[in-house]
Structure 1
């Protein structure tokens, strides 16, 4: 149901003044997405079903979704390229309980637009489609294969909280750690 509402919001926010992107869902449906969100902001989660960090971050993604989606923050998962089958994506979505609509960026349109190189990497855009935060979800993973016992920086959550409070985002860019997009 939440995914259907999300689709409706995407379609409702299409306008002639902003760039529109076309994506394919795992079910084969085509979705048109305006670069400007219909809500207060939009988070693009760039994910890879076989990246261990994308799998490990699933609980964090669910928690962020539960906290912020109901407050008007749009969230969507972007699967870059066409390396994964529908079955791979569906298994990832089910096994890791990913609450996001997962869309394929087969032509790497958003990857190129935002210069995304890693999964997981997030891009947060405001209502005008301007990037206001890009990088890691938090500082749990600080190098490939190395994780902190205690997270000390919640970069995405802090940025989303700033958006909701109409405050400037203190850190607008961080370095994502994970699997390279090929």
Structure 2
């Protein structure tokens, strides 16, 4: 991943520390090791953020922030990736997690009524929750591992490509200098 690209979109720690709603986390936000953009910190941030995003729990961003602190990875990326499960994508992702959990547990999938309501979900929660939890943890683990590996490979590819481009420019410059 290009470091400059990521730095362009990341907020500055001082900006966040000055916000009134985040003052209680000032010591966490100000920790320089949580703002490093290296292959390891970015890949681990993807793992933490994607894992937290797949969990059907409230306060996913707090879980991602704590995970970033625990693993010592990039805090803004870990917290930002939680928004993969936003209000538009959440129903589809969690339904997929439920289906995966039902398949893993070898239980029948509950069919939704023609008119889905919060009352129906509340009544069925005892039956749905185990499959949703198993499916969410399974998909979170798989997606976190795949995200980590993908970021590490992309980062390596980018560095390799950059080295090759620099070598080409050096060879071209030498040829121009040697030409009479």
Q: TM-score with structure 2 length normalisation?
A: 0.28
Larger Rg, first or second structure (1 or 2): 2
TM-score between both structures, scaled by the size of structure 1 = 0.27
* Structure with more of its chain in strand, by fraction: 1
